Every structure is written in structure tokens, then in C-alpha cells.
Amino acid sequence: MKESAQDTAGDTDQVIASKPLSDPSKERKSRQDSGWLKPPSREEVIAGIVILLLLFGFPWFNLGYRFLSLAITTGFTAIALYGLSLQFGQVGIMSVGHAAMMGIGAYTAAILSVKFGVGFWVALPLSILFSAFAAGLIGLPSLRVGGQHYIIITFCFCALLVIALTNGGSFTGGATGLDVGTIDSILGIDFDKLRNAYYLVITILLVCLLVTYLIVNSPYGRTLRAIRENEQLARAAGINTSLHKIGAFMVSGAFAGLAGILQAYYLRHISPSLYGAFPSLYLALMIMLGGARLLYGPLLGAIIVSFLPEMMNLNPIDSRIAYGIGLVAVILLLPGGVSAGLFNAYRWLLLRIRPSK
């Protein structure tokens, strides 16, 4: 018995000794890949630093009141697009009623301001909550229908909201809309100044970009992509697909409500026409042009549609023709959007520049 025990111990020592030592760098990489949050790549970090410098340095180019106003409009439009990117890019469900979610946030803030004297900072969380709740309700039909049927539902909701706001009487201001006050100063910062208003919008945009990154690279984001790729398989794996989809819709609506209140306080006046079917189609166009699955795609889409036509001095008819041609070109040549095309071009250049091993 003693000899057999010694032999077994000797064999075990030989097996342990014969195992190759693992590479510590590979072990760290495996721990990072299996962690809660995927770390950003070097390209994402570089792009983030460049975008951060450009956004915060833009007012110092002194391009004038017009371009700074366009930058603010592009900023809160991009915030709404980041919400739509979570719904379309991660879950795979397109909506052409996203402007209606912005309208709910904007009208919540406007009604609170006009009827109850509530300021911006108090109305901000309430607008986000109301828009998120409405988006969750509109997302319920997606549990039964999908594809073009759900798109039609969101389009109808957008039209119904415009009708309700137009016929809301003095409560919603009717077809003429409601006037909105100014943003209350905080820490001595006067947001009536255009540059301060710009930095407020850009700061909120960067927070939304960070939240989007955290969601996309978290286990929740990976679950959403599993639902997008094969919902039946995800359900068979034990994932509550309905709960995850409604959660994504509510986050998308919260982003839209945030964009809506920023738009309302920037324009100082809102009307139902701002949140109809046509603005919703523009948002869908932006997300398809920029790209819904990459982090900087929504920002790029907002710049392409909101900012570039004004810089090129295109009239509305020419800009719409350019949008149509651009959309067809992107669908045929760049299915992932312009951001995906730029990223693929960057990788191709790296392969050309780096020496082959």
C-alpha cells in the first residue's frame, strides 16, 4: 500500500511538472475578455481623445454665431441618435417614431415650465422618465410583431402624438406650441450665453456616449446582440428576451427625452411640427448613414445630416437630393454606415503600412 501510494504521488508530481507554464500576458488578456466590461481598444482611445479635443475646442475656432448654433443642434440630435443606436444597432429593431420620444420630453419640460413654473434642472429627470416610460409602452408591440410591422406602429404613434398636441388646446399650446424659459444658472454659469449652452450640450453628449459604451460592452449589451442575432435561440438559452428588449427601448426613450428638453430650452419655443413623421425619418436617415453599431456612428450621422449641408451652403432641395443619393450609396456600398467604412479603410491602411511578418 505504501509503495502504491508513493508511486501515485510520484506520477502526480511528474504530471504537474510536465505541464507547461502559462503565459501571464495571455492570462491577463483572458481575464479581461471574461470580465464584466470589455476594455477599449487603442483605436477607440485615440479616436475618443481626438473627438474630445475637437468638441471642446470647437468654439475657439471663432466660426461665428451660426456655426456654434449648428453645433448645438448637432449635439442634441446626436444624443437622440445614441438612444436610437441602442434600439436599432444592438436590438435590431428600427423605429421611425423617435422624434415623438423627443417631443414627449420637450413638452413635459415646457408644460412644467409654463403651467407650474418648474425650471430646467427639476424638469430634466422628469422629462427623461416620461420619455422612457412612453418608449417602454410603445415597445410592447415589438414583443408580438417585428420588422416593417413595428416600423408602421412607431410611425402611427408619431402621427397620433402630433394630432394630440395640435388639439391639446391651451394645455399644449395647440398648433402654435409653447414658449419655454431659460436655463437657470448653476455655479454662476449663465447658459444664456451661446458658448456656455454649447458646453452644456457637449458635456451631456459625452456622458451619453460614455453610457452607450458601458451598455454596449457590458454583459447586458452582449445579451442584446444575442437577441438581435437569434431571438429564439436566446430565449431557449434562458434569456428573458422581452424584459431585455423593453429595457433597451426605455433607455432609448430616455436619451430621446434628454435630447428633447435640451432642444426645447435651446429653441425657447416648441410646436407639434418638430416631432412629426418627417423629423423621425431624418433621425432614421442619420443613424443609417452614420452607422448604428459603432460607438461614433451616431455622432458622425448627426454631423453629416445636420452640420455639413449648412457648411456647404446647400439649399433644402439640394440637401434632400444629396441625402437620398447618400443613403442609396451607403446601403449598397457601406451597409454598416460611414463609420464602419472609415474603420475598414483604417484597418486596410494599417495592413498596407505594417511590414508583413
Q: Is 118 exposed, middle or buried (0-12, 13-18, 19+ CB in 10 A)?
A: middle
Confidence at residue 327, expressed as pLDDT on a 0 to 100 scale: 86
Give the predicted TM-score (pTM) of the model: 0.87
Confidence at residue 356, expressed as pLDDT on a 0 to 100 scale: 53
Q: Collapse the DSSP code of 179 into the 3-class scheme (helix H, G, I; strand E, B; otherwise coil) and give the result.
A: strand
Confidence at residue 299, expressed as pLDDT on a 0 to 100 scale: 94
Residues facing 270 on adjacent strands: 178
Quote the CA–CA distance of 138 and 98 in Å, as a whole number.
11
Confidence at residue 146, expressed as pLDDT on a 0 to 100 scale: 78
Question: pLDDT truncated to tens, each residue of the chain (357 aa)?
Answer: 444 444 444 444 443 343 343 343 444 444 444 456 777 777 778 888 999 999 999 999 888 888 999 999 999 999 999 999 999 999 999 999 999 999 999 999 999 999 999 999 999 999 999 999 999 999 998 888 878 889 999 999 999 999 999 999 999 999 999 999 899 999 889 999 999 999 999 999 999 999 999 999 999 999 999 999 999 999 999 999 999 999 999 999 999 999 999 999 999 999 999 999 889 999 999 999 999 989 999 999 999 988 888 777 777 788 888 888 888 888 888 888 999 888 888 888 888 887 554
Confidence at residue 24, expressed as pLDDT on a 0 to 100 scale: 39
Quote the CA–CA distance of 200 and 38 in Å, as a whole number.
29
Confidence at residue 355, expressed as pLDDT on a 0 to 100 scale: 59
Query: Which grid coordinates are listed for 339?
Result: 463609420
Confidence at residue 147, expressed as pLDDT on a 0 to 100 scale: 80
Confidence at residue 34, expressed as pLDDT on a 0 to 100 scale: 47
Taking the alpha carbons of 228, 231, 237, 240 in that order, is the dihedral positive or negative?
positive
